[in-house]
Amino acid sequence: MFKDLSPNLKSSITRSITQTFEQYMSDIEWSEEKFSINDFIANWREYITTKALWYTKIPDEMKNAPTFHEDLAQRINEIIARLLGEPPSQEQIAAIQAMQEQLNTHYEYHCKAEAVYVETLLKNHLGL
């Protein structure tokens, strides 16, 4: 059913999953121990029902269809896997390394999205 949506709707759904996942991970400080797929899904559900403009464009019968939820779950898994698999850029690595040397910290990061979180954290410590 997901594949039957317009490209614009699919793109909006993808953006909402990406933004919500990155915000959720930031909220839990990218801690694997704190991660809960149920908490993430609850955050995403709240986001789509209160802030996402695309949600009202999907017919209720589609929203209630089990196959739509299966397709959506698959899409969520694909997006999370893509985000976690995207390596940090060389610029991020260099910037983080320089700030960590300055602050004498040793934050680890494994993907581009987590590097954005660490870079922001370090900039805040430096007052930038």
Tokens of 39: 């908490």
Q: What is the pLDDT of residue 1?
A: 78
Q: What is the pLDDT of residue 77?
A: 96
* Predicted structure pTM score: 0.90
User: What tens-digit pLDDT sequence spans the chain (128 residues)?
Assistant: 778 899 999 999 999 999 999 999 999 999 999 999 999 999 999 999 999 989 999 999 999 999 999 999 999 999 999 999 999 999 999 999 999 999 999 999 999 999 999 999 999 999 87
Residue 7 CA: distances (Å) to CA of 1, 13, 19, 92, 110: 13, 10, 18, 31, 30
* Cα 116 from Cα 87, distance rounded (Å): 11
Q: What is the pLDDT of residue 82?
A: 97
